[in-house]
Chain A
Amino acid sequence: MTAPIRLPPIVRERLENGLRVIVAARGGVPLAAARLVLRGGASLDPGGQAGLSHLVALAARRGAGRRSGAQIDHLVEELGADLGAGVDEDATYFGLSAPSEALPRCLDVLADMAGAPTFPAAEVARLRRREVAALAHDLDEPTVVADRAMLLATYGGHPYGHPPEGRVRDLSRVRRGDVVALQRRHYHPGAGILLVVGAVEGPAVLEQVRRRFGRWPAAGVSSPPLPPPAPPAPVVLVVDKPELTQVQVRIAGPGYPRRSPDYQAGMVASAVLGGGFTSRLMEAIRVNRGLSYGVRCRFATSGAGGLFFVSSFTKVETVGELVEVALDEVARFAEGGPTAEELTRTQSYLCGLFPLSLETHDQLAERLADLALFDLDDAEVTEFRERVRAVTAEDCRAVARRYFPGASRVVVAVGPARQLRRQLERLGQVRVVSARRVT
């Protein structure tokens, strides 16, 4: 656990059109992972069109260059590859996982998806209908409903407040012209980062990338940075789902952005409070009281802001007790911080397991993409252990006091409103909404 973390040799260059290219050739299984990351994700969705950027990413696979969507499906899958697309709040991602020998042909498709999507009208319309239908299914997933309600209650009208997958009403209104316009504006090489990691010949990959992605014309606009989200108004939000016998619970408050100097201390503090099986929340809620199968907390960090949240679930009758125990543990931690034993145990846990998060090509590609997207140094990986071990108990206490939910907390519970209101009203004014209002 004291050995240094090593990265494979990494080649970075910027093409003339502005595309940043990162290639890490390593041994291991004969697979390659590639990611094309474009700055700007769901936060680019225009008002009233939540889900547009998600739809654009999916639609780009349904026809690009000379190939139809069905031709891309056949080509990619017959090579044994997997090619996916999606967005989060900050970026658009195209992810490729392929046998090493299939990489050149797959990169060819990827270059077309980025620079020359054709958006066949029938495919765009069909995808939109499918995504609208999928949003209906999401209403039957209590965890999804709870997460979306939490985003809405914490971020409100900020671009981070809507789910990346969109909303039924918004997505139903989207037309092909909207898809084309967003793609033209935001898909350009200056906003892009292309990563290739795996059992590949680095120079050959670079050569192909220069040739194939170099043709992508430099056009489009860079989106201005997002303002930080405003602190949420405290609320107890009950999402009414009368049929549920188990209630999903979230307790949230504002956190910090990805580049915050509090990042490491927050990671350690949240791990002590609600990381592994021995965390305080796990012990109080699962081990000592049998209230839930699982409970965790963490900081979710984005470009312009972030949030801290506790997530758990319990039977309807014990929701009040679970929330009370969780809030007590959060407050107790903010008051006293971790014990010396908790701190060193958690540091060992995080440091020992860190290499497991860099084992596969896909994992390393994602880690390097995260660094590139947020302009972070490789030292975040190579010096991970030193930085984690440098966090003190006082750092943890300070970060907890600053961010752990206090007066401005948001509490979300998904379940039968009548029983939940009774148990939660002593925490503040309870607002009851239907599931459709938050998704």
Chain B
Amino acid sequence: MFRPRMVTGSTRGRPPSSAILDLGGVLERELPNGLRVRVLPERSAPTVSYYTFFQVGSRNERPGLTGISHLFEHMMFGGAAKYGPKEFDRVLESRGGHSNAYTSNDLTVYYEDFADEALETVIDLESDRMRSLRLTDEVLEQEREVVKEERRLRTDNSVFGLMEEQLESLVFLAHPYRWPVIGWMSDIERISRADCEAFFRTYYAPENAAIYCVGDVDGQAALGLIERAYGDIPRGPPPAPVLQGEPAQRGERRAAVRYPAQAPALLCGWRGPPARSPDAPVLDVLQVCLAVGEASRLRRRLVIEEEIAVSVSISWAWRIDPGVFLAYAELAPGGDPARAEALLFEELERVRRGGVSAREVARARALLRSSLLHELSTHHGVAHALGQAEAILGDYREAGRALEHYGRVTPQDVRRVAREFLDPGLRNVVVLEPERGAGGRRPPQERP
């Protein structure tokens, strides 16, 4: 559901220096109904990755119907006119493929990875459900229960999930990023079939979607197949404008989560810039300087030197509207959250005042380059990167330009964005307070 831009330690990637991804071979087309299609033939492995991006996520929702984007993602596997209930995956698997999907704050994304000869089948399956999805009460009730279990898994029974939900609702008062992508439990229970039908007509119309096909294909033939399969799907009504009007934050906001956990934890967040801002890649560099790798500042200070935290990480996910720059620290049992917080902010102040060194920026660039190479080393990764770049930044070619952006970042830029976005007076803090009893007895512990 949530895919941070920088996944450390992930294993995904392509060509060196600044041209990290050769997009010269992309065939692009916009059909008369508005559907955008991008095909990149790439013969290194006998597989194809086929992505469909819909420009809708929890950002497009309204209070009372939170979670509909994600619940609807589940409904897309419930059967359409040609391929009925339970047939989508069955047909795909029988042709040597598999599929999955995710929903984020901004987007809903579907993919199939498959052996090259299944391309026609995949196009048939995907165009069938975009044209003629069958929304039944039966499927809705099943998927509602499945999604409730998903919420229990990721949020209600997860320490981080509970804290993240609190943090986003501190950072945002009016913007839809305020509520979780999976939605509030009571809204998941309320969403009706009529809501889903209206949602489908509006947000799953071809002009709200884009297809990315990367792998062992004949580009022109693939374009022709896609054009024939999707060409007759009608446009839909225009989507409602996204709720904006987030008021300026005037001071620190705090929340506590009491839970029978073994140890405290700390989650802090700030409103960052939108993905299109030139500051977004600068924050990627800052993220690495602070918390990626053992030599990063927060890791050294909080985990290695002070031993107050077991782990520390930063999440900075690029979003269409201003997103959240988030620091998370899991404390050692018995650790003092106030002290951890003081140390964290002391380190951030050091960056805000003194900046980072050229050596730190070079280290960040090297790690970011490797991370991009990993991401772009599979058909799946390339197709996803193209779609993500177009959906969030407005141009799929941006997927090949990330290294240029990182190459321009200077230590002065890092200091400037730290000053601008990590203002201690505008921080949002969630503290996990371990509750005693009910299984939350203090565990045995050792002190440094």
Contact = CB atoms under 8 A, between A and B. Distances in A.
A411 B63 CA distance: 42
A315 B374 CA distance: 37
Most buried by A among B153, B156, B448: B153
Contacts of A98: 370
Interface of B is mostly: mixed
A31 B90 contact: no
Contact of A126 (B16, B95, B156, B307): B307
A49 interface: no
A356 B113 contact: yes
Given A126-B307, A245-B152, A355-B46, A360 B11 contact: yes
B143 interface: yes
A38 to B, nearest CB: 21
A355 B115 CA distance: 8
Contact of B448 (A126, A142, A313, A344): A126
Interface in A115-142: 126, 129-130, 132-134, 136-137, 139-140, 142
Contact of B90 (A27, A241, A345, A359): A345
A241 B333 contact: no
B310 A80 contact: no
Contact of B47 (A30, A82, A245, A356): A356
B363 interface: yes
B152 A345 contact: no
A80 B367 contact: yes
Contact of A246 (B96, B152, B263): B152
A287 B86 contact: yes
B439 A240 contact: yes
A283 to B, nearest CB: 7
Given A246-B153, A349-B94, A293 B146 contact: yes
B293 A73 contact: yes
Contacts of A70: 294-295, 300
Interface residues of B, number: 84
23 contacts: A31-B13, A31-B374, A77-B293, A80-B365, A132-B446, A133-B332, A136-B262, A243-B259, A278-B90, A288-B142, A290-B144, A291-B149, A292-B149, A293-B146, A293-B149, A313-B149, A345-B93, A351-B115, A356-B47, A356-B113, A358-B45, A359-B379, A360-B13
Contacts of A132: 445-446
A363 B378 CA distance: 11
Given A136-B445, A137-B263, A278-B90, 20 more contacts: A1-B115, A28-B14, A70-B295, A74-B363, A78-B362, A80-B366, A82-B9, A97-B11, A126-B307, A126-B448, A133-B263, A133-B332, A276-B98, A291-B145, A292-B149, A293-B153, A314-B149, A348-B96, A434-B439, A436-B443
Interface string B73-115: 0000100000000100110011111110000000000000111
B376 A29 contact: yes
A99 B377 CA distance: 13
Contact of B378 (A290, A360, A434): A360
Interface of A: 1, 3, 27-31, 69-70, 73-74, 77-82, 84, 97-99, 126, 129-130, 132-134, 136-137, 139-140, 142, 168-169, 172, 240-246, 276-278, 283, 286-293, 313-315, 344-346, 348-349, 351-353, 355-356, 358-363, 434-436
A344 to B, nearest CB: 7
A81 B370 contact: yes
A233 B9 CA distance: 39
A28 B380 CA distance: 15
Contacts of B99: 277
A261 B147 CA distance: 40
A130 B363 contact: no
A28 B377 CA distance: 7
Contacts of B234: none
B422 to A, nearest CB: 22
A30 B373 contact: yes
B366 A353 contact: no
B236 interface: no
A97 B373 CA distance: 11
Nearest to B375: A29
Given A140-B262, A290-B142, A353 B97 contact: yes
Interface in B286-317: 293-295, 300, 303-304, 307, 310-311
B261 interface: yes
A399 B260 CA distance: 43
Nearest to A101: B16
Most buried by B among A3, A242, A351, A353: A353
A349 B98 contact: yes
A348 B262 contact: no
